[in-house]
Chain A
Amino acid sequence: MRLHPQLSLLVAGAVAPVLVLAMVAGVLLVRHERQTMQSEAIGRTRSAMSAVDAEVRGHFTAIQALASSKALELSDLRAFYEEAQRVARGQSDWLTVRLALATESQVFDTTIPFGNDVPPMKDLGSFRLAVASRQPVVSDVDTSGARPTVHMRVPVVLDSVVRYVLTVQVAPESFKDVLRAQHLPESWVIALVDRNRRFVARVPPAASGRPVSDTFRAAINRSANGWFAGTTIEGTRTYTPYVTSELSGWVLGIAIPAATVDAAASRTVIGMGAGVAAALALALILGWYMARRIAAPVAALAAATEAMGQGKDVRVPDPARIDEIVQLHDALRTAAAAVRERSDLQEREKAALQAADRAKDEFLAMLSHELRNPLAALTAAAHVVKLAQPGSEAAVKARGVIERQTKHMARLIGDLLEISRVAMGKVALERERFNLAKMVADVINVWRASGRLERHFVSLGAKAVWVDADRARLEQVFSNLLDNALKFTPPGKRVNVSVGPERDQAVLQISDEGEGLAPGMNERMFDLFVQGERGLDRAAGGLGVGLALVKRLTEMHGGGVSAASGGPGKGATFTVTLPSVQPSAEQAAPFESAPRGAARQVLIVEDNDDTRAMLHEALAFSGHDVREARDGASGLALAAERAPDVALIDIGLPDLDGYEVARRLRAAPGGRRIGLVAITGYGQPEDQKRAFEAGFDAHLTKPVAPERLKQVMAGLR
């Protein structure tokens, strides 16, 4: 079931008891109203009855006044007849006045001439009651005659004996005036009923003597006074209060139409119901609104959760101001972020795997190529060896090829095996405590001696720092990085090596002025098989395992390696960090940074700025004291100031040529012991010969390799 209807039901549930209470209150109110109306009606009934009683008493009083006549006391019946006739004429309601002896013998009737026979007496019951009770009596409606009558009988007591009964016949309709005088609403019915439950008088009229409705009779039989719901003789449903007169025994009822009573009640009920309905509707609307306020964000969150499953963003515009919903919303957003992060991570991992896969494919292609080339040379060389004369030049050359190419292949395969052993963790470190700076200096010296550094300026800044490490492995690390730097740096440029302590670490740095790194390569380049973008030429060929090896080996030592670059063409710096240790006492001997040759005074005479700067730097690096001149004349001036130990002289100078400068230097005092080196753009034997003839001790061809310069310098005494 959906949340919204649930919440609406909740509100309805809360409203229901209120509704029941309202209904009970409504019923009570209706009942109260009815009771009020009832008691009011009963009051009116009583007062109407009193009016009727007063009317009856009025008749009795008038009859008694007549009965007290002297003529009757004197038994002058004729005179009393006339007096009665006179009084009867004054009473409009009196039909006739009859006098009868208590013995029930008729004496006279005022409507019949005195002395004539009087019709037989009717309603003997009331007559005898009057005689017996000695009290005035009113009869019930007598319908035996031509018209209905009511007999008012007053006993006449003379000398304490009931001698006569004076009876006045009255038309029952005469009571209508009393009933009308009650001024009841038109639709109401007021009725006077005798002891026989027959109408005396009624408004609206009904024939006197006609029996009342069954419901009225039943109610009177139940109780003398009261209230009943019934039906009038016209068939109208009514509520009727009624009272019974103690004087006459008659009953007076006022029938109020049920419609009137019920209309009042139903007005109340309708008013009440409308109020309740309005309250309920308001409650439901409020409930609906509140439910929507709760349900809408919940539904939005549900949708958001679904969206999250599809990897979309989770955003609920208005999480309402309900704390729990806000919390849920926040939690969901956090979860969504986590999910997104995880999927991003998976994406990255997938990309990394694909990159690794690609790198592997390229590596295989590269490996294939790198192995095929030497194989091709070997195959051809074998062919030559097979066909050529043993000992012939061709055979000797072919053997040389075989030797070189097998070595090359052995190195390639060695690299491969090495990286696979390191990668598989099969390399055990043979740790010892040694000075890393010394190791680096040793490697550089060996490489310098073998000529591998002669195309570049390689400098070393070293401070003693001790590591507990596998010396051979760290040599491998450094060699790889140095080899890399040389490979990617054009000839004539610098490669700077520095090693020393930094806090509790040993830091080895190799900076070059080479091609630098493409953005994004910094991290990836240490992965196995990854190589920088290269042209078709493979000038920087290799298997791409060197840096991976460096990384694994430094990590095995608890250190790390990183690369930084200003971008393509701006050189690169590789930094290796290793945990440093304290040296053992006997090892902590002072360490000399780099072996230098004896410092000499050197003069450079060269018009080309680049060449001059390069030579200056190379010589200064070796520790020599260097001065320089742009042309022959200023060169000679400097030499005259202070004679140099060695002079490097360009042959193609703007003013004097190099040969001339050499001749003059030699001719100068002390010129004999100056070491003179010619620098030319031409390496032809004739050029060399001419230089030696001019007095030069040595000859260098541009571009001047630093190592060659060093050799020449060393060769001068």
Chain B
Amino acid sequence: MNPLQRLLVVDDDADMRLTLKLSLELAGYAVEVAANGREALEVQRMRPANVLITDIFMPDADGFEAIDSFRREFPGTRIVVVSGGAQFSKRDYLPDAALIGVDATLQKPFEIDALLQTLQSLT
């Protein structure tokens, strides 16, 4: 069993949240979900997770703000960033995310196995 078993999935797309939660639960993780950065902080305070899996484009507080807040309030939490940003333009924030020191990045769409492998590698 992976010791980092509690996950928090943050995505503004309900279907994305749902499918990630379902597939990660099938893999044996305990999964909490949140629709934005603010909600994620509230959830984390109640039921802290070991790993934060977050999108970057989100309403209210964007992914960068969420990451920043987690860094300060929950320094032990590992962070995985997923994004659909393309390589064409400034809208690609994944490299930026890597720069600010998140643990891993994944570009949408990704195979769940890839996400699972990434999670394994965080131990």
Summarize A's interface: helix, strand, loop or mixed. Answer: helix
> Within the complex, which residue of B18, B57, B92, B107 is in contact with A538, where a contact is CB–CB below 8 Å?
B57
Contact (Cβ within 8 A) B111 A383? yes
Residue interface bits B1-42, CB-to-A below 8 A is 1, else 0: 000000000001101101110110110000000000000000
State A404–B110 Cα separation when bound (angstroms): 19
* B67 interface residue per 8 A CB criterion: no
Contact (Cβ within 8 A) B19 A365? no
Please, which residues of chain B bring their CB within 8 A of the CB of A380?
16, 19-20, 22-23, 112
Contact (Cβ within 8 A) A373 B89? no
Task: Report B14 CB to chain A, min CB distance, Å.
Answer: 9
* A633 interface residue per 8 A CB criterion: no
> Within the complex, which residue of A368, A401, A537, A539 is in contact with B19, where a contact is CB–CB below 8 Å?
A401
A380-B112, A383-B112, A537-B57 are contacts. A365–B86 as well, Cβ < 8 Å? yes
| Chain A interface residue number, banded | 20 to 34
Contact (Cβ within 8 A) A372 B109? yes
Contact (Cβ within 8 A) A381 B19? yes
> Within the complex, which residue of B13, B15, B23, B88 is in contact with A364, where a contact is CB–CB below 8 Å?
B88
* A350 interface residue per 8 A CB criterion: no
Please, which residues of chain B bring their CB within 8 A of the CB of A376?
16, 82, 84, 108-110
Please report B residues at the A interface, Cβ cutoff 8 Å.
Answer: 12-13, 15-16, 18-20, 22-23, 25-26, 56-60, 62-63, 82, 84-86, 88-89, 91-92, 107-113
Contact (Cβ within 8 A) B15 A372? no
Contact (Cβ within 8 A) B86 A375? no
Task: Report A394 CB to chain B, min CB distance, Å.
Answer: 5
Contact (Cβ within 8 A) A383 B56? no
Please, which residues of chain A bring their CB within 8 A of the CB of B82?
376
Please, which residues of chain B bring their CB within 8 A of the CB of A366?
91
Most central of B19, B26, B91 by chain A CB within 10 Å: B19
Please, which residues of chain A bring their CB within 8 A of the CB of B86?
364-365, 368-369, 372
* A33 interface residue per 8 A CB criterion: no
> Within the complex, which residue of A368, A372, A373, A387 is in contact with B23, where a contact is CB–CB below 8 Å?
A387
Known: A372-B84, A387-B23, A539-B59. 15 other contacts (CB 8 A): A361-B88, A362-B89, A368-B84, A368-B86, A369-B85, A370-B84, A373-B13, A376-B108, A377-B15, A380-B112, A383-B113, A384-B19, A394-B22, A536-B63, A538-B57
Task: Report B94 CB to chain A, min CB distance, Å.
Answer: 11
* A252 interface residue per 8 A CB criterion: no
* A135 interface residue per 8 A CB criterion: no
State A369–B13 Cα separation when bound (angstroms): 13
Contact (Cβ within 8 A) B84 A397? no
Please, which residues of chain A bring their CB within 8 A of the CB of B16?
373, 376-377, 380
* A379 interface residue per 8 A CB criterion: yes
State A373–B19 Cα separation when bound (angstroms): 12
State A362–B86 Cα separation when bound (angstroms): 10
Please, which residues of chain A bring their CB within 8 A of the CB of B58?
536-537
State A615–B42 Cα separation when bound (angstroms): 34
Contact (Cβ within 8 A) A365 B85? yes
> Within the complex, which residue of B18, B59, B85, B110 is in contact with A379, where a contact is CB–CB below 8 Å?
B110
Please, which residues of chain A bring their CB within 8 A of the CB of B60?
537
* A435 interface residue per 8 A CB criterion: no
Please, which residues of chain B bring their CB within 8 A of the CB of A384?
19, 22-23, 26
* A378 interface residue per 8 A CB criterion: yes
19 contacts between A and B (CB under 8 A): A361-B89, A364-B88, A365-B85, A365-B86, A365-B92, A368-B85, A372-B109, A373-B108, A375-B109, A377-B13, A377-B16, A378-B109, A379-B112, A380-B23, A387-B23, A388-B22, A401-B18, A536-B58, A537-B12
Most central of A366, A404, A537 by chain B CB within 10 Å: A537
State A372–B113 Cα separation when bound (angstroms): 17
State A398–B16 Cα separation when bound (angstroms): 10
Contact (Cβ within 8 A) A397 B22? yes
* A405 interface residue per 8 A CB criterion: yes
> Within the complex, which residue of A369, A373, A377, A394 is in contact with B91, where a contact is CB–CB below 8 Å?
A369
Q: Which residue of B lies closest to A368 (CB)?
A: B86
In chain A between 496 and 555, which residues have their CB closer than 8 angstroms to a CB of chain B? 535-539
